[in-house]
Amino acid sequence: MGTPLPRDPIADAQRNWERHGWGDVAAPMAAITAIMRTQQILLARIETVLKPFGLTFARYELLALLSFARSGALPMNKASALLQVHPTSVTNAVDRLEKAALVARSPHPTDGRTTLIELTPEGRTLAKKATAALNAEVFGNSGFGPDDVDHLIRVLGTFRRDAGDFTEE
């Protein structure tokens, strides 16, 4: 989107909230808005790195997930649950990955309702390359210090647990 602004728009919003008598929720509003914007920035960086591989983040996440499965295959519903996205989003991603010959659909051996997503050799190779690129260019240069990283993992982990993402830990 363009040139840097002279002032932080989220800090401005927080001041506006306070000015209108919503001081008690101005700070959480600012924190939440900052999370939204940070996500947008990070996603843009990731997509930029993945583009040369012909991948989007959604497709990469699926490839990476499969690459960690023992057999290199997962039922669609498992993938949907682990990636925490709607089943139709997985269908969409698999459609495109399959068209690119990076994954293949195969019927579940015992449950006729279930479809397995299987990594092809090309898919596995690409996942490895893409992961190396992301590690080098995004995760290795996140812009967060080690203490901030630990704090984010802890605070957001608690938040996600309280939100019902998972139970353990």
Binders in 64-123 for DNA, by CB under 7 A: 75-77, 80, 84-96, 105, 108, 110-115
Q: Which is nearer to its own copies, 7 or 99 (CB)?
A: 7
Q: Rule CB under 7 A: is residue 16 a binding residue for DNA?
A: no
Q: How far is CA 39 from CA 22, 92, 97, in A?
A: 25, 22, 24
- Of 75, 82, 98, 104, the one binding its own copies (CB under 8 A) is 82
Q: Which is nearer to DNA, 18 or 82 (CB)?
A: 82
Q: Which is nearer to its own copies, 51 or 86 (CB)?
A: 86
CB of 88 to its own copies, least distance (A): 11
Tell which residue, 77, 75, 72, has the closest CA to residue 102.
72
Residue 63's CB is within 10 A of a number of other CB atoms, namely 23
Q: Which is nearer to DNA, 84 or 135 (CB)?
A: 84
Residues 24-53 that bind its own copies (CB under 8 A): 24-25, 27-32, 34-43
Q: How far apart are CA 124 and CA 93, in angstroms?
A: 16
| Residue 77 near residue 92 (C-beta atoms within 8 A) | no
11 binds, among DNA, its own copies, none (CB under 5 to 8 A by kind): its own copies
Q: Rule CB under 8 A: is residue 135 a binding residue for its own copies?
A: yes
- Of 18, 22, 118, 124, the one binding its own copies (CB under 8 A) is 22
Q: How far apart are CA 122 and CA 103, in angstroms?
A: 8
Q: Rule CB under 8 A: is residue 121 a binding residue for its own copies?
A: no
- DSSP assignment string, 17-51: HHHTT-HHHHHHHHHHHHHHHHHHHHHHHHHHHHG
Which regions of 16-152 does DSSP assign to beta strands (E)?
Answer: 73-75, 103-107, 115-119
Binding site for DNA (CB under 7 A): 1, 40, 44, 56-59, 75-77, 80, 84-96, 105, 108, 110-115
